[in-house]
Every structure is written in structure tokens, then in C-alpha cells.
Copies of this chain bind each other. A is one copy, B any other.
Amino acid sequence: MKNDIQIAQENEMLPIVNVAETLGLVEDDLKQYGKYKAKLDWNKIDSLKNESDGKLILVTAISPTPAGEGKSTMTVGLGDALSKIGKKTMIALREPSMGPTMGMKGGAAGGGYAQVQPMEEINLHFTGDMHAITTTNNALAAFIDNHIQQGNELNIDPRRITWKRVLDINDRALRNIVIGLGGATNGVPREDGFDITVASEIMAILCLATSLENLKKRLGDIVIGYNMNRKPVTVRDLQMEGALTLLLKDALEPNLVQTLYHTPAFVHGGPFANIAHGCNSVIATKTALKLADYVITEAGFGADLGAEKFLDIKTPVLEKTPDAVVMVATIRSLKMHGGAEMASLKEVEDVEAVKAGFVNLQKHIENMQRYGIPVVVGINQFVHDTPAELTALQRLCDEINIPCILASTWENGPDGGIELAEAVVDACEQSNQFQPLYIAEDTSIQEKISKIVKEIYGGSDVQYTNKAQNQMRQFARNGWGNFPVCMAKTQYSLSDDPKKLARPEGFTITIREFVPKIGAGFIVALTGDILTMPGLPKKPAALNMDVLEDGTVTGLF
């Protein structure tokens, strides 16, 4: 069996200029980064704004197993299959973070015969967007500490600075640190910490910005902490929004690459799916809609998190709702929700577990139907799935009138996704009346959370800690009640308890604390401890990585 990098290296890429040509783009519309990557020039993006939109297909999933459901593989393979059946298609994916690549996870550019390319570069420095975000985030941090050091005109409370530094590396030793030691010339001592770059509000902002001007406005709105009177201090107060915009100017332009089968793909932006909204950039998705007739995109984690945030946070900015949702599931995950032992998921046929676990899939389907969007279930097929298990699932979907299509894009590339592509094309033709869950401006934070918990998660109640209640009062005073809410919750359950699989009911969600992301334009509600700086395992993936004398990369999966 070949691994991802072997498949990728055996594949011949087209020059990115040729890929761009299939979208009607010319060389001057691109800023090439080597022969196989390019940024689309801002002038071209701007010139497209009055073009009509193609169809938008959102790929999401049921509550996943720890191994994931293969959403990216499905997204890439579906894009290739749509191309193969003659549709002008683009894929719009998130870009991977390097930290996890060096640690546990390996790459994040799809897998098998459903990959975007060049995977060695997409998984590492790519076009430098992550580095630009790291730099912008840390420039702001340095300017905050310098402001205090130089007299603290804004009266910033060093104990209430919420802006943290970031690095795109898994580094647990930087989670909690003390800075500014060493005497008067070396800053003011205070507690601080580093997050991973994708957790930076700058990443969320980049992904929601609609133009350079809008980017600058959002950057100016960032609240970096509070002054001694507990009033919020913004980037605008520090007069830093111009310089920060300058540092992000190139990163705002979406990155064009190709799949193994030369379908054009934007890979741009990759915010966390818990403390942020977990979708690729608005600019990439919007531009793809102008360039192609079908655009496949993806949201992080299960549909209760990624799709809900796509629909309630990204959609209002994108000004385009999905024409169809592909709900990815695996027999493995259904069996897990149905009570089968984790260790036996691949080994033992268990039709009853598939049937019992179906309720999780069904709830996610109902949720998407609640928004008014047609759903197609895409089964990411594995060799160990048995015919009886697949038939059982098929019947259950038939009963609720949802097309359920087997796909094997990982193994077979586009050929493994033709039937799914055809079902998706059909779904896009259905009538589609989008029903938002809430109108952010007309609903209080408490009401928004209540709607998400009751209508999407299927819970019965929401509790707030004292801290969260105090914060809601403070936010109301600051005028922050109008923002959508971004839930930070486990992806393994519809509830906030990762052990409650299938379709839990009657549960209460506890909101522990809020994190205002005023630049991004949402309020994060934390339901538990969220790790914003991962650690490395005992034998990190990087120990196997190498580059040979001739430049060939090895050990990157």
C-alpha cells in the first residue's frame, strides 16, 4: 500500500498557470509561488464581484470517531468526481497548521487518491500565510508590552491583557509563562502564554474579512485586554491597525493549488473549529463561487459544530447559503455511536450497532433540514465495511428519504465519487429556502445559546457559571450582545460530555466562560477546557521526516 506522500510524488502536477486557465484566469491574475502554487491577485478578485455565484456544497459529518470521518478526502474526491462528470468545479479547503504536522498527525491535504498538491508544501510553509499570521499576532503582542513599558498612556492593566502570543508549533512549555523578567529595561513582568497560530483571532479575522478595508476595520476592533477601569482596549487605541493590515496584505489573497486530478482548489485559512468557526476563508469561498459552477467546501468537526458555525457565522458574511450539504459518515462511526467497542469497530460485523448508531446521523440530518438545506449522506467506505452493515444503513436512510451514497475516493479517486457527485448535482436542483437559526442582531447571547443547545444539540437546558453571567452583563454594557456565538464544545458528542454518544437527550450544557473576539465578530462560549496550544507526543512525526540530497522529501504523511 502506498502512503500519501508516495502517491503525491508519483503524480505529475500541471503548472498552476494551466490549472488557472481552466477557470478563465490568465497568468497576470496570479502571483506564483513556485510552479505549482499561486495567490490570486486582489485586483482580479475585486473584478469578479458582480459575477453570479455557482452552487455551494458544504461537506460536514456526524459526530466523529477520534480518527475522523474523512471529510477532506471526501471533499477533494467529490470535487474530482464533479470535474469528471463535466462540471466546472472548485474546491475550497482550510490550510493545515504546521504544528500538528510535526507532532502527531501528519499532513492535512486529504489522503490516498483524494489529495491536494503539492502536499509537501501545503503541509509546511505553503505560501507563508501562517507565518504572516504568527508575525502579525506577535507584533501586536510586542506593541502592547512596549506601550506599557513606555509609560502606559492607555492605562492598560497588565493583569488583564487577553491578547496572547502564538507559534505554529506544538509547544506545551509555552502554555503558561512569565515574561518581562530581568529588570527595568526588559519590560514589565506579567503572566502570559502562547497559543498555536491557528487559535489566533487574527486567523479568524483573515477568514471572515471581505476586503482589505474590512480586514483593517476588524483588526482595529480587536480587544487586547482591559484598562485599569476595566474598559476594553482595542488595537485602534494602540494605532496599530494599519501596520497589522500591511503584514496581512498578501495572506488575504487565496492560494490556488490542484488535486491529483488537476481540479483547481483554494486552500486558504484554517481557524480552530472550537474556539473559532472552523471554516476556510470567506474570500476563497466567495471567489470560488464566481469562478466555478460547483464549489465544494468543508467545515471542521461534526455538523453540530462546523456546519452550525458555517451557517450562523460564515454564511451571513459570505452572503450565500449552501445549495446542498454532504453529511459524511463511516460504518465505523455509526457502530461506535451504536455502542460497539472501539477496539472491535474494524474487526467485527455488527449490524445492530449500525442501526443503533444511526440516531446520531439522523439528528445531524434533521439539523441541516431545519436550516432548509437538502442533504446527501456520503459513506466514506472502508474495506472492512460488510455488505450487511452497508445495506442496513442504506435502508435507514431510505426510510427518511435521504440519498445515501457509498464513496471510495481515498482508494479510487474521482471514480469512487461519481455516484455521490450525481446525487449532489440533483440535490442542488431542489428548492432551497434557507432558514437561519437566529438573526444575530435581534437575539441576546443567552437566546442564541439556547437556540443552539435546544434546536441543534437536542439538549434541554443551559447553565451559566457566575463568571459567565458576569461576563454577559459586561458584554451588554460594551455593546457586544449583537455578535453571533461560537460554541467551544467537544466534537465527540452532541452534548458537552464526550462520553454521551449517539443522540443524547435531556442534557444540560454548562457555559463556563466567554471569550470575546470582537475583531472576528463573534463571542466564544466555552463549555469545558479547550487546549489552545497542543503538546508533542513522545515520538513526534518529525523524527521520521527527512530531505534527501536531491531535495526529495520523506516521512511526511
Asked if A282 CB lies within 8 Å of chain B CBs, one says no
**In the bound complex, how far is the Cα of B249 from the Cα of A242, in angstroms?**
33
Contact yes or no, A239 B543, CB < 8 A: yes
Asked if A556 CB lies within 8 Å of chain B CBs, one says yes
8 Å CB contacts to B: which residues of A19-48? Answer: 31-35, 39, 42-43
- Chain A 8-24, CB-CB to B under 8 Å as 1, else 0, gives 00000000000000000
8 Å CB contacts to B: which residues of A50-85? Answer: none
Q: Which residues does chain B contribute within 8 Å of A142, judged by CB atoms?
A: 169-171, 173-174, 536
A246's partner among B146, B245, B547 (CB-CB below 8 A) is: B547
Contact yes or no, B182 A176, CB < 8 A: yes
Asked if A540 CB lies within 8 Å of chain B CBs, one says yes
Contact yes or no, A173 B180, CB < 8 A: yes
Asked if A342 CB lies within 8 Å of chain B CBs, one says no
Selected interface stretch from A185-193, A373-381, A389-397? A185-193
Contact yes or no, B168 A551, CB < 8 A: no
8 Å CB contacts to B: which residues of A153-184? Answer: 165, 167-182
A243's partner among B135, B243, B545 (CB-CB below 8 A) is: B545
Contact yes or no, A243 B143, CB < 8 A: no
- Chain A 528-554, CB-CB to B under 8 Å as 1, else 0, gives 000000011110101111111101010
- Chain A 418-460, CB-CB to B under 8 Å as 1, else 0, gives 0000000000000000000000000000000000000000000
Q: Which residues does chain B contribute within 8 Å of A135, judged by CB atoms?
A: 98, 125, 131, 168-169
Q: Which residues does chain B contribute within 8 Å of A547, judged by CB atoms?
A: 212, 216, 242, 245-246, 249
Majority SS at the chain A contact face: mixed
A35's partner among B31, B245, B540, B545 (CB-CB below 8 A) is: B31
**In the bound complex, how far is the Cα of B33 from the Cα of A139, in angstroms?**
24
Contact yes or no, B169 A187, CB < 8 A: no
Asked if A151 CB lies within 8 Å of chain B CBs, one says yes
Q: Which residues does chain B contribute within 8 Å of A7, judged by CB atoms?
A: none
8 Å CB contacts to B: which residues of A111-141? Answer: 124-125, 128, 131-132, 134-135, 138-139, 141
Asked if A250 CB lies within 8 Å of chain B CBs, one says yes
**In the bound complex, how far is the Cα of B147 from the Cα of A540, in angstroms?**
10
Contact yes or no, A186 B172, CB < 8 A: yes
If A35-B31, A542-B243, A553-B246 touch, does A175 touch B186 (CB 8 Å cutoff)? Answer: yes
Asked if A247 CB lies within 8 Å of chain B CBs, one says yes
User: Quick one: closest B residue to A178, CB to CB?
Assistant: B178
Contact yes or no, B540 A242, CB < 8 A: no
Q: Which residues does chain B contribute within 8 Å of A178, judged by CB atoms?
A: 177-178, 181
Q: What distance in Å separates the Cβ of A203 from its nearest Cβ neighbour in chain B?
A: 15
Contact yes or no, B173 A179, CB < 8 A: yes
Q: Which residues does chain B contribute within 8 Å of A124, judged by CB atoms?
A: 246-247
Q: What distance in Å separates the Cβ of A491 from its nearest Cβ neighbour in chain B?
A: 21
If A179-B177, A538-B150 touch, does A171 touch B246 (CB 8 Å cutoff)? Answer: no
Asked if A149 CB lies within 8 Å of chain B CBs, one says yes
Contact yes or no, B32 A243, CB < 8 A: no
Q: What distance in Å separates the Cβ of A192 from its nearest Cβ neighbour in chain B?
A: 8
Q: Which residues does chain B contribute within 8 Å of A240, judged by CB atoms?
A: 542-543
Q: Which residues does chain B contribute within 8 Å of A542, judged by CB atoms?
A: 139, 143, 240, 243
**In the bound complex, how far is the Cα of B128 from the Cα of A132, in angstroms?**
9
8 Å CB contacts to B: which residues of A312-371? Answer: none
Q: Which residues does chain B contribute within 8 Å of A131, judged by CB atoms?
A: 125, 128, 131, 134-135
Q: What distance in Å separates the Cβ of A90 from its nearest Cβ neighbour in chain B?
A: 22
Given contacts A177-B178, A246-B547, 17 further A-B contacts (CB under 8 A): A138-B167, A139-B542, A145-B173, A146-B171, A149-B172, A150-B537, A173-B180, A176-B180, A176-B186, A177-B179, A212-B548, A240-B543, A242-B544, A242-B547, A243-B543, A243-B545, A249-B551
- Which 10 residue pairs of A and B lie closest in terms of their CB atoms, listed nearest first? A173-B187, A242-B546, A176-B182, A131-B131, A243-B542, A142-B171, A145-B173, A31-B34, A176-B181, A146-B536
List 17 A–B pairs whose Cβ atoms lie within 8 Å, in order of A's numbering.
A31-B33, A32-B32, A32-B34, A125-B247, A141-B171, A142-B170, A145-B173, A151-B538, A175-B187, A176-B181, A177-B177, A178-B181, A240-B543, A242-B546, A243-B546, A245-B546, A249-B547
